[in-house]
Amino acid sequence: MARVLLVDDDAAALEIRKLILQRAGHFVLTASTASEARASPRTEIVMLDLRLPRVEDGLALIREFHAAGMRVIVLCGNRADLDGRPEAACVDTVIEKPARSEVLLEAVQARPKIA
């Protein structure tokens, strides 16, 4: 099973996604701010909400976690926030919100892209 850092500023969404991933057997760390995410121990995968609450926060985390060799899964309500940006090339999977449980689990369990 995977080690996942889950980042979202919506406490309810964070808790629900954490439970979904944990019930599937994944080890999950959580962060509710970009600062908390940066201070968290490194994991194999980061799943983050693009707006934390600003898009710029999410984009910065994408760059940082990708550079650290982590798989990056982005949750977004408006895909246009990511389309056309250089950070899009750093993302393994984009999930549009609201996301179904099965979609979250499939994204975590997917094989990583080969660079």
Sketch the domain layout of the chain as residue ranges: 1-7+76-108
CA distance linking residue 106 with residue 27, whole number of Å: 15
The Cα angle at residue 4 between residues 43 and 70, in degrees rounded to 5: 45
| pTM for the full predicted model | 0.93
CA distance linking residue 37 with residue 5, whole number of Å: 8
pLDDT in tens, the chain (115 residues): 899 999 999 999 999 999 999 999 999 999 999 999 999 999 999 999 999 888 999 999 999 999 999 999 999 988 888 889 999 999 999 999 999 999 999 999 987 665 5
Q: Any idea what DSSP says for residue 114? A: P
Q: Any idea what DSSP says for residue 110? A: S
Measured N-to-C along each axis, helices 11-23 and 101-109 cross at an angle, to the nearest 10 degrees, of: 60
